[in-house]
Amino acid sequence: MQGSSQNLTMGGPWHSATEPAYGERRRSRNVWPWVNWGLALTTVPAAAIVMLFALGAVMSTDNCSDRLCPNLDRGGFDFGVAFYGPPVVAFVVIAISFFTAKRQSGIVLPLCGWALLAADVAVMAATVTS
């Protein structure tokens, strides 16, 4: 080779600067199941915290009577839904995550579970304080 071949290429592990390396693409795809499962599994302790908040909210109304808390009964709020709903939400999120955790759009399910738990706390707080 005396420099006469100008289309000569050398084989090797080199890539262009704009091309992702081989391991980077696989790594980014493998992050989504971990994020989805992390969010799904953390709904369990969050559900326990929501249940404790519901118990505390109901116990704070122990000294209420019609004269002290006149607006307490008018909310139409069912304590059973507020107390027994969070474990059901956590169970459903984990059960459905078996099917959706490997998808990038599967993150919507645990986020909806978190939103339901937050809504439960907000409704309970608004009902008890009014």
Q: What would the pLDDT profile of 49-83 be if each residue is shown by its tens digit?
A: 999 998 888 787 767 766 666 666 555 567 788 88
pTM as predicted: 0.70
* CA pair distance 130, 125, nearest whole angstrom: 9
Task: Show the tokens assigned to 79.
Answer: 């304590």
Average pLDDT over residues 87-104: 92
Q: Among residues of the chain, what percentage have pLDDT more than 70?
A: 64
3-state helix, strand, coil in the chain (%, to 5): 70, 0, 30
